[in-house]
């Protein structure tokens, strides 16, 4: 018994030292991006915890086998009373196997929207993203059980560039001039993202055997109630700059409307 206690203590010490030393090395790795380092640190934490549990279970295997039968009934009772915890653990397993999201991705789950900065066995932590695709500074911790019942919208899926859309309203009498002004503003403000986005979209199309998406700035029309027309602007943009570019396009369009001449 004493040998097993000492062995368990050694396992704990080794796991803790490994996490500290490897974690320091990962934080000092300036060649990797911040998201990559954060992902490696989270992976280190989860793997070291799992290895520690397995090693301790192996040390105490005989004792666990003796009490195993009596623990089955107890485990069933615990599982029933801890349904949410079990669901969250299952949700973590589903996330890991499906790759629905990872560190650095921007996701939306129901009303929850943000950038993933951490995930564990039970929860996922996000930096909230509000209107205009800008960070609010608040963190959201959601149970991993939530994506089991609500679809996960991954806005980046591990990629840097997205096709961002937003809508504005125009009068029926001026929609043509507004369409031209919005398209001109979109080309001016998002033009630098067209080629990098095109390369990434073509790579994604080859990976998934899809037809490459058209990434050029576009304006779509749809009818609204009364004399209004909805103009939807779609632009290629880096995911982190979507809100800033949208704001710049709208400001440019409003300035053009006030000045009464096309945007150049």
In order of 45, 48, 160, 193, the CA distances from 120 in angstroms are 9, 13, 24, 34
Residue 264: partners with Cβ closer than 8 Å, 6 or more residues away: 184
Asked if 98-154 and 161-259 have one fold, the answer is no
Give per-residue pLDDT as tens, 174-199: 889 999 999 999 999 999 999 999 99
pLDDT of 164 above 60: yes
Give the mean pLDDT of 105-131.
88
8 A C-beta contact, residue 250 and residue 170: no
Higher pLDDT, 67 or 117: 117
Give per-residue pLDDT as tens, 228-250: 899 999 999 988 788 889 999 99
User: pLDDT > 70: what percent of the chain?
Assistant: 94
What is the model's pTM? 0.57
- Residue 184 is predicted with a pLDDT of 93
Give the mean pLDDT of 158-171.
85
**242: which 2 tokens?**
């979507």
**18: which 2 tokens?**
């490994």
pLDDT of 81 above 80: no
Give per-residue pLDDT as tens, 57-72: 888 777 777 767 676 7
Residue of 143, 118, 113, 138 whose CA lies nearest to 243: 113
Give per-residue pLDDT as tens, 18-74: 888 888 888 887 777 777 877 888 888 888 888 888 888 888 777 777 767 676 777
Task: Give me the residue spans of the domains in the chain.
Answer: 2-81, 98-154, 161-259
Identify the CATH class of 161-259. alpha beta
Q: Which fold has domain 98-154?
A: SH3 type barrels. (2.30.30)
**247: which 2 tokens?**
């704001």
């Amino acid at each position: 018994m004493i040998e097993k206690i000492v062995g368990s203590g050694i396992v704990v010490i080794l796991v803790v030292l490994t996490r500290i030393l490897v974690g320091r090395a990962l934080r000092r790795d300036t060649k990797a991006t911040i998201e990559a380092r954060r992902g490696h640190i989270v992976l280190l934490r989860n793997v070291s915890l799992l290895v520690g549990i397995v090693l301790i279970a192996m040390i105490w295997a005989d004792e666990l086998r003796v009490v195993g039968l009596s623990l089955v009934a107890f485990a069933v009772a615990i599982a029933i009373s801890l349904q949410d915890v079990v669901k969250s653990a299952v949700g973590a397993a589903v996330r890991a196997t499906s790759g629905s999201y990872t560190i650095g991705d921007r996701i939306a789950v129901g009303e929850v929207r943000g950038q993933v900065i951490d995930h564990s066995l039970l929860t996922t932590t996000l930096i909230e993203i509000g209107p205009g695709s800008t960070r609010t500074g608040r963190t959201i911790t959601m149970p991993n059980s939530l994506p089991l019942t609500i679809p996960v919208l991954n806005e980046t899926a591990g990629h840097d560039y997205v096709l961002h859309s937003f809508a504005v309203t125009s009068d029926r009498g001026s929609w043509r001039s507004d369409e031209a002004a919005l398209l001109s503003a979109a080309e001016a403000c998002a033009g630098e993202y067209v080629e990098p986005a095109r390369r990434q979209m073509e790579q994604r199309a080859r990976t998934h055997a899809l037809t490459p998406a058209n990434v050029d700035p576009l304006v779509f029309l749809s009818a609204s109630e009364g004399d209004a027309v909805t103009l939807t602007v779609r632009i290629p943009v880096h995911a982190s700059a979507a809100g800033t570019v949208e704001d710049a396009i709208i400001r440019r369009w409003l300035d053009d409307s006030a000045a009464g001449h096309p945007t150049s």
